[in-house]
Amino acid sequence: MGKSKLLHSLKVIALAAIATGMLAGCSDQYIVLKPQGPVAQTEYNLIMLSVYLCAIVVIPVLALTAWIVYRYRDVPGNKAPYMPNWHDSKILEIVWWGIPIVIIGTLGFFTVRDTFTLTKPPVQDVKPITIQVTSLDWKWLFQYPDQKIATVNYAEIPAGVPVQFVLTSDAPMNSFWVPSLGGQEYTMPGMAMRLWLQADKPGEYFGSGANFSGEGFAHMQFKVVAKPQAEFNNWVQDVKKTNNPLTKEGYADLVKPGVVNQPITFSSLPEGLFDEVVDKNGGKYFRHTMDMDDSTKHEMSNMDQNSSKKEMSMNMGH
């Protein structure tokens, strides 16, 4: 085993890692690294901070290891000192207990600060909008309690407005993730959890389920479309006019396991459906632990009961 060969391979590995990193920095496909809203931006800043802080340790350690192995290699005539019984140094020990403590302390400070920040809406001076998200087998139902409409496998949001996603599941747990706008949160039966996200600019953002939930899991992708407020309002009006309502029966069909190939839009939704689903799955047992604020306790609208159920293309892929 030639040491130079080892060193060479270490170099190759390091170069490959850097190349991967560079690639990551300059392509639009790296959606986590191209934040499109304040939440994703905060998370991105933390990611980069942790990369830099780790690099402070990692790079010297790698370099030092390579140097030590090279300098103290066991070859005849190596003039480097050999001290077989040297095994203790208080100063060195203090250095390498100390450096990680300082770095972890720094990272810990920002972590804790931002953990608390992200539980609040990203901007305080704009009235937020609420969207209730239910993960089903294997599709996403989005209910707009204030607009009184619903969609499946896509959601439209106004750009520049904080969106409070209230999450639950009427199926095995999943996780709701829109990488461009910010990190994910689990959808769990019997619970209504909150996730604040916001898009700075209009655009179409990729979303997916992130926690395995069975056979059709891979097909649980959705789009989040951000539009200027006026266009969003028009879209809501349009939806109300041109689509069929979501009924209790329609919901029961939607819950049945299957994959939805085309997005669906509903012009209205049944009164209290979301809360009912949460309660049904166990929310009634620990209501006291959930702090639903006013925006999620919505007034119910009159619904158009006459429209027929929209035909859905449900089909399990094999």
Partner 1 sequence: MLENVKDFASHFFVTGDPLIYGADVSIVLAMVAIVFVLTYFKKWGWLWTEWLTTVDHKKIGIMYLIASLAMLFRGGVDALLMRMQLAFPNVHFLESNHYNEIFTTHGTIMILFMAMPMMFAFFNIVVPLQIGARDVAFPYLNAVSFWLFFFGAMLFNISFVIGGSPNAGWLSYPPLSEIQFSPGVGENFYIWGIQISGIGSLATGINFIVTILKMRAPGMKLMKMPMFTWSVLASCITIIFAFPVLTISLALLFIDRYFGAHFFTMDGGGNPMMYVNLIWMWGHPEVYIVVLPAFGMYSEIVSTFSKKKLFGYKSMVFALISISVLSYFTWAHHFFTMGAGADVNAFFALSTMAIGIPTGVKVFNWMFTMFRGRVSITQPMLWTLAFIPCFVVGGATGVMLAVAPADYQYHNSYFLIAHFHQVLIGGVVFGYLAGLYYWWPKMFGFKLNERLGKWAFWTWQIGFYVCFMPQYALGFMGMTRRVYTYGWDMGWAPLNLVSTIGAFLMGLGFVFQVLQIVYSIKFGERDLTGDPWNGRTLEWSIPSPAPLYNFAVVPQVKAMDDWWETKQAGLKIERPHLEPIHMPKNTGIPFLMGMAWFVAGFGLTFDWTWMAVIGLVGVGASLIARSFQYDTDYYIPVDEVKRTETALGRVV
Our CB check for partner 1 shows the closer of 93 and 249 to be 93
Residues 1-30 contacting partner 1, CB under 8 A: 1, 3, 6, 9-10, 13, 16-17, 20, 23-24, 27, 29-30
Respond yes or no on whether the N-terminal peptide bond of residue 138 is cis (omega within 30° of 0): yes
For the bound state, the minimum distance from the C-beta of residue 274 to partner 1, rounded and expressed in Å, comes to 16
Using DSSP, state whether 139 is helix, strand or coil.
strand
Our CB check for partner 1 shows the closer of 123 and 300 to be 123
Residues 91-110 contacting partner 1, CB under 8 A: 92-93, 96-97, 100-101, 104, 107-108, 110
Residues 261-280 contacting partner 1, CB under 8 A: 280
Tell me the Cα Rg of the chain: 26
Residue 145 interacts with partner 1 (CB under 8 A)?
no
Residue 191 interacts with partner 1 (CB under 8 A)?
yes
Residue 185 interacts with partner 1 (CB under 8 A)?
yes
Residues 31-90 contacting partner 1, CB under 8 A: 31-33, 40, 42-44, 46-47, 50-51, 53-55, 57-58, 61-62, 64-65, 68-69, 72-74, 78, 80-89
* Interatomic CA distance for residues 169 and 211, integer angstroms: 12
Using DSSP, state whether 263 is helix, strand or coil.
coil
Our CB check for partner 1 shows the closer of 280 and 309 to be 280
Contacts 24+ apart (CB under 8 A), 283-290: 283/168, 283/190, 283/191, 283/192, 285/190, 286/190, 290/191, 290/192
Tokens of 136: 């089903």
Residue 177 interacts with partner 1 (CB under 8 A)?
yes
* Interatomic CA distance for residues 80 and 86, integer angstroms: 14
Q: Which of 122, 216, 245, 258 binds partner 1 (CB under 8 A)?
A: 216
* Interatomic CA distance for residues 273 and 310, integer angstroms: 18
Q: Candidates 157-165, 211-219, 236-244, 246-254: pick the segment binding partner 1 (CB under 8 A).
A: 211-219
**What is the amino acid identity at position 151?**
T
Q: Considering CB under 8 A, how many residues would be counted as binding partner 1? A: 104
Quote the DSSP letter at residue 159. T
Q: Are 176 and 185 within 8 A, CB to CB?
A: yes
For the bound state, the minimum distance from the C-beta of residue 173 to partner 1, rounded and expressed in Å, comes to 6
Residue 212 interacts with partner 1 (CB under 8 A)?
yes
* Interatomic CA distance for residues 81 and 72, integer angstroms: 8
